[in-house]
Amino acid sequence: MLSPAQNVRLRRYRVALGLAVTLAGFHLANALLFEPTARRYERAVRQLGELGLGSQPGGSGRVLPPRLYRLMAENSRRAAEVAELGATGGLATALLETSTRLMTECGVEVMATDPGNVVQSPRVAQVHVELKARARYAQLVTFLDRLSGSGKLIEVDRLNLVSDTPEQVEAQLSLTQYVFKTGPEAR
């Protein structure tokens, strides 16, 4: 219990006491809640940079999502292997095999294939192929759907559809697959 004199003193300084309590509470919350979180955030950003996935030049702050990194990892081979397969036509053959298999699964009739050239750069190889096929429009859409979920980095460079009959279209496709290079040779 406070004595009357203490009570009077407490009442006189109640505003200053209130301010001090608010300030102390704020500091406590900052020290216990915010600062540890801020430290964790800084550590996570640093770790992201150490993984080699930091900001883009120009500070756009874009990072490669883990799903795409996994996709990139699945589409990578040792640089020497990529060079050898590119020279022997193995990369183009593999791309043709993948695309014709997907087409057949979707009911698309493959009429002609043309393994194109392989463009080698220090970090990535671009494999080009051309295909000619006949299918219903919906089957081609299904093929594109299957291609997007194939786990391969395959781009549709060019697509030309001509209505063959009311039900069928004749399609010419140019596809490009990207194969990333790993190892010390890949600069």
Interface with other proteins (CB under 8 A), residue from 10, 24, 87, 156: 156
- Range 182-185, long-range pairs (CB < 8 A, 24+ positions): 182/76, 182/77, 182/78, 182/79, 183/78, 183/79, 183/80, 184/79, 185/78, 185/79, 185/80
Interface with other proteins (CB under 8 A), residue from 12, 26, 87, 88: 26
Interface with other proteins (CB under 8 A), residue from 59, 66, 165, 167: 66
Distance CA 175, CA 117 (A): 11
Q: Structure tokens of 24?
A: 């102390």
* Cα torsion angle, 166, 167, 170, 171, sign: positive
Min CB(178)–other proteins separation in Å: 5
Q: Total residues contacting other proteins (rule CB under 8 A)?
A: 62
Q: Could you say whether residue 82 binds other proteins (CB under 8 A)? A: no
Q: Could you say whether residue 123 binds other proteins (CB under 8 A)? A: yes
Distance CA 82, CA 158 (A): 24
Amino acid identity of residue 159, one-letter, is L
Distance CA 91, CA 129 (A): 10
Q: Which stretch binds other proteins (CB under 8 A): 2-10, 54-62, 87-95, 110-118?
A: 54-62
Distance CA 145, CA 133 (A): 16
Q: Could you say whether residue 178 binds other proteins (CB under 8 A)? A: yes
Interface with other proteins (CB under 8 A), residue from 20, 24, 51, 87: 51
Binding site for other proteins (CB under 8 A): 22, 26, 29-30, 33-34, 37-38, 40-41, 44-45, 47-48, 51-53, 56-57, 62-66, 68-73, 76, 78, 123-124, 137-138, 140-141, 144-145, 147-148, 153-163, 166, 169, 174, 176, 178, 180, 182-183, 186
